[in-house]
Structure 1
């Protein structure tokens, strides 16, 4: 028996809420994922401000949070590009 590939349930440190296909729509899952990406971006900005003001001394955590936010944003952009490519391909199909 072939085991299915599990869903990506974690972008950053917060699990994506709503990976239950029977109760949530694609839009709900997308909103939750975008909120998680936004939270990572906000945390990275907050860490940057704290580093500038001297409230935080551990630059390693600042860099890790910035990298997490960057990777999550790049993943979001790539997913958006794939969705647009799929939409354009569907629109080119003859009726």
Structure 2
């Protein structure tokens, strides 16, 4: 192997991860998006007040479609849209 050959791959990998996250965060109601499992999965956290359950399902499909049309990638990428509400109280 030539010196520096893996460095280019690492740069491409980091750029691809960033691109995956940027595609997901381009949608309305998205708080954060994380590319995990070496880019095989994207977890998208949405605002529960602005995205209902049916919209979350549609958003997952839309994000997957946009990834298919705009990016080159090996294998499949799982798009996981997470919508959760947390209620925390303390008993004293």
User: What is the TM-score of this pair, normalised by structure 2?
Assistant: 0.32
Q: Which has the higher strand share?
A: 2
* Structure with the largest fraction of helix: 1
Of structures 1 and 2, the one with the larger relative CO (CA 8 A, separation 6+) is: 2
